[in-house]
Amino acid sequence: MIFKRNEHNGSVFHYFEEKNIVMGFTEIDSEAEDIGDYFGIEKIVQLDQVHGNKIYFSNEVKGYPEGDGLILNEKNVMTVIRTADCVPLFFRSIDGQVAGVIHIGWRGLHSKIGINLLETLKEKGTDTKDLLFFTGPAIEGKCYIVQQDVVDKFSDFSFGDKIFEKTPKGYSMEVTRGIELCLIEQGIPEENIKHSGICTFCNKNFPSYRRGDREKRIFNFVMMR
């Protein structure tokens, strides 16, 4: 996966293209409409994100329903998931027939949106071993301190003891690693999961809720051409 960095109408974005699929994410102070304009796509599908586990196929979405995941099943449509510290989890099938992006913070990880994604794709006939995953910019563990209440919520998760580390101010939490462990447990080969390695809290080119950005978001986009 080789990402290109580009600018259009003042919006800065990183993307890669493979077969007929384009995936990417914007830097701070960018607009989803500029990305659509750059790629010549008019229809943008977005959700009212609520940190839950509901996933939609793009052609089912009317308006802005509550949900946190989008599976693209149409050409010339762009699905967008907004994040600022939470993890955008991109996925695509090796044959280029399936793609999308879902939003996962600790609540999404707890409500098992990743497992819901795999189940939803399996129902539609996708062999999940043929899926390739990518986690976009998100807050890294050492910058994301949570308290005992969050740790307790993961006490019955198989990876619950692998994603928290005690720090002087609470516990660092590796949400991205939690997602990876969850996927591996569901049979996804580890080598099929890649990471941007960008921490939104450390890298000021990206908005971070914990750093104080209340309204600004990364637009994580996927389209099929």
Interacting residues with Zn ion (CB under 5 A)? 140, 143, 199, 201-202
Q: Minimum Å distance from CB 204 to Zn ion?
A: 11
Helix/strand/coil (H/E/C) assignment for every residue in 200-218 = CCCCCCCCCCCCCCCCCCE
54 or 142: CB nearest Zn ion = 142
Q: Minimum Å distance from CB 105 to Zn ion?
A: 16
Q: Minimum Å distance from CB 202 to Zn ion?
A: 3
Query: Which sign, positive or negative, has the C-alpha torsion 207, 195, 133, 4?
Result: positive
201 or 209: CB nearest Zn ion = 201
Residue by residue, DSSP assigns 27-52 as: -TT--HHHHHHHHT--EEE--B--SS
Q: Minimum Å distance from CB 191 to Zn ion?
A: 25
CA distance 45 to 69: 11
154 or 201: CB nearest Zn ion = 201
Q: Report the residue count for the chain.
A: 225
47 or 179: CB nearest Zn ion = 179
Q: Minimum Å distance from CB 172 to Zn ion?
A: 10
19 or 142: CB nearest Zn ion = 142
Q: Pairing between strand 43-45 and 145-146?
A: unpaired
52 or 170: CB nearest Zn ion = 170
CA distance 82 to 84: 7
Is residue 192 within a helix (H) or strand (E), and if so which, with residue range?
none
Residue nearest to Zn ion (CB): 199
Q: Minimum Å distance from CB 86 to Zn ion?
A: 14
* Residue showing tokens 């099938």: 93
3-state secondary structure of 141: helix
Beta strands in the chain (DSSP E): 4-8, 11-18, 21-26, 43-45, 55-57, 69-72, 77-83, 87-93, 99-104, 131-135, 145-146, 164-167, 170-173, 193-195, 218-224
